[in-house]
């Protein structure tokens, strides 16, 4: 099965850089070690839901805790979420982490570190940086596509801190109603040439 089919146009934008077989192995390992997993329901996207069920069946694996992969979108709009963030030291990781920092700070959140994460090859470096500073942060918000999926599980297990693969909710926080995934991909692809 080729689970990346149809996603080639956004693969580099989503950090899926490198050997597809290796990426698949890393994502599956992460999937099997993550405490709460966001998976698409039939209502959210019938085709990808069915493909996810096929994948999980082929792996003979069923996660214990499942939520919507879009749960972070309403979280980002929740006053309770923002109030919780004010009580901890937060790290932002991803292409737009630095851009998001002032938005979080304006909401009263203490951002102790922002790191860029572009592609699979940078996962280990970012992981080591954050592990070496684990006493300085309590919660990490990652928005870096496939690398975030892999790093979130690793970092949570190695530091015993809360790590959230926040996905495009970070873009929504930055862009608001102007968020346009296809436009972000298009701009990224044009600027990467």
- Residues 177, 108, single domain; the answer is yes
The answer to whether residue 59 sits within a structural domain is yes
Domain's final residue, options 67, 90, 118:
67
pLDDT of 5 over the 60 cut: no
Q: Of 28, 49, 67, which residue constitutes the final position of a domain?
A: 67
Residues 80 and 58 in one domain: no
Do 96 and 43 belong to one domain? no
| Predicted confidence (pLDDT) per residue in 44-73, tens digit | 889 988 988 898 899 898 888 999 988 999
Domain that holds residue 25: 8-67
Three-class SS of the chain: CCCCCCCHHHHCCCCCCCCHHHHHHHHHHHHHHCCEEECCCCCCCHHHHHHHHHHHHHHCCCCCEEECCCCHHHHHCCHHHHHHHCCCEEEEEECCHHHHHHHHHHCCCEEEEEECCCCHHHHHHHHHHHHHCHHHCCEEEEECCHHHHHHHHHHHHHHCCEEEECCCHHHHHHHHHHCCHHHHHHHHHHHCC
Q: Rounded to two decimals, what is the model's pTM?
A: 0.86
């Amino acid at each position: 099965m080729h689970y990346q089919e149809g996603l080639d146009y956004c693969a580099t934008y989503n950090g899926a850089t490198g050997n597809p077989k290796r990426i698949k192995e890393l994502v599956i390992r992460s999937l099997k070690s993550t405490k709460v997993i966001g998976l698409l329901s039939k209502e959210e996207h019938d085709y990808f839901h069915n493909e996810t069920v096929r994948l999980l069946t082929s792996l003979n694996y069923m996660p214990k805790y499942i939520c919507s992969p879009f749960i972070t979108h309403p979280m980002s709009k929740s006053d309770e979420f923002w109030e919780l963030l004010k009580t901890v030291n937060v790290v932002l990781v991803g292409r737009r982490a630095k851009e998001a920092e002032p938005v979080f700070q304006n909401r009263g959140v203490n951002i102790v570190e922002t790191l860029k994460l572009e592609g699979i090859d940078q996962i280990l470096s970012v992981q080591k940086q954050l592990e070496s500073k684990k006493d300085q942060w309590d919660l990490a918000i990652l928005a870096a596509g496939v690398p975030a999926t892999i790093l979130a599980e690793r970092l949570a297990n190695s530091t015993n801190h809360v790590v959230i693969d926040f996905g495009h909710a970070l873009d929504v926080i930055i862009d608001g109603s102007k968020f346009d995934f296809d436009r972000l991909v298009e701009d990224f692809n044009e600027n990467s040439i």
